Amino acid sequence: MNENSIEIDRQQRHDAVKKWLWMSCIWCWPIGVVGFFIGFALIAGFVPPPSPAWSAQELAAFFAGDLTRIRFGILIALFASSLLLPFYAVISAEIKKIEGKPSLLAPIQFGGAVILVAFFQIISLAWITASFRQDVSPEITRMLNDYCWFVWSTLIPTYSLQYVCMAIAGFMDKRAQPLWPRWASYMNLWIAITGAGGGLAVFFKKGPFAWDGLIGFWIPVLVFAIGMCVTTGLLLRRYKLDEAQPAGRSVRSGAESFRPA
């Protein structure tokens, strides 16, 4: 085998690994959301959320019901939530393709993703801490639980900023077949807006604005999940479009294609 053949084989293996990594990161969302739902909702029993109107004793009784089950479920959710990071990394890379160099929206979006995932990890560990000891004061258990649900419902500035960046990138994308069509860019703006509803949970213990209410929990979570599933489909479509182009070219002349030259 001559030197040129060796180099071609090396490049082909490099391209195959790159494609595998790209697709794996996209599929991290479906795998992660299923794992998170199983751990957080089905095993730990945190959906629907414990009511903020519960007394310390009522909440302590909820945790005492099965401490091992709660710890196991939250531990699954802890690992599953980390899969958001590679998924958002693909989004950041796609935004870079749209912006070109230098890129501003991509690092802002990915910075927001890092904060989101980091706090998912933190509140998962806090819930595990709340369920670790049976002899702890009910007031301490309730304080930890309050903190976790306030992070869940009100950590919205950087979360919403991510989707604003994605929306702007969609409006900037002038390719014949953009990653986010115009309707999908408006969808990302809607995700950013509905997420802000959870911020009112700091004022309410009952009703639609509480952290277990329609506006405080159900609408933001459902809109987020639907939007992420739509973006997953659009990322897969974008990948196929880039793969269908001749080597080194993309749908938009001069734009960076995923497929290496």
| pLDDT tens for each residue of 43-98 | 999 999 999 999 999 999 998 888 889 999 999 999 999 999 999 999 999 999 99
The confidence score (pLDDT) of residue 162 equals 94
pLDDT digits (tens, 9 = 90+) for 64-79: 888 889 999 999 999 9
85 in a structural domain: yes
Is residue 45 included in any domain, yes or no? yes
Percent of the chain with pLDDT over 90: 69
**12 located within any domain:** no
Q: Is residue 254 part of a domain?
A: no
pLDDT of residue 206: 92
Asked whether residue 248 is domain-assigned, the answer is no
Are 88 and 113 contacting, i.e. CB atoms less than 8 angstroms apart?
Answer: yes
* pLDDT value at residue 7: 65
Q: Give the pTM.
A: 0.84
Residue-level pLDDT at 122? 95
Q: Residue 18: what pLDDT?
A: 79
Asked whether residue 171 is domain-assigned, the answer is yes
Residue 29 burial by CB count (10 A; 0-12/13-18/19+): exposed, middle or buried?
A: buried
**What pLDDT score does 260 carry?**
38
| pLDDT score at 20 | 85
Q: Return the HEC string of the chain.
A: CCHHHHHHHHHHHHHHHHHHHHHHHHHHHHHHHHHHHHHHHHHCCCCCCCCCCCCHHHHHHHHHCCHHHHHHHHHHHHHHHCCHHHHHHHHHHHHHHHHCCCCCHHHHHHHHHHHHHHHHHHHHHHHHHHCCCCCCCHHHHHHHHHHHHHHHHHCCHHHHHHHHHHHHHHHHCCCCCCCCCHHHHHHHHHHHHHHHHHHHHHHCCCCCCCCCCHHHHHHHHHHHHHHHHHHHHHHHHHHHHHHHCCCCCCCCCCCCCCCCC
CB proximity list for 2: less than 8 A, separation 6 or greater: none
Q: Write out residues in the chain with pLDDT < 70, as ranges.
A: 1-9, 11-12, 14, 246-261
- Whether 247 maps to a domain, the answer reads no
**Count of domains in the chain?**
1
The whole-number pLDDT of residue 247 equals: 52
Domain that holds residue 67: 19-240
Q: Which long-range contacts (CB under 8 A, 24 or more apart) does 2-6 make?
A: none
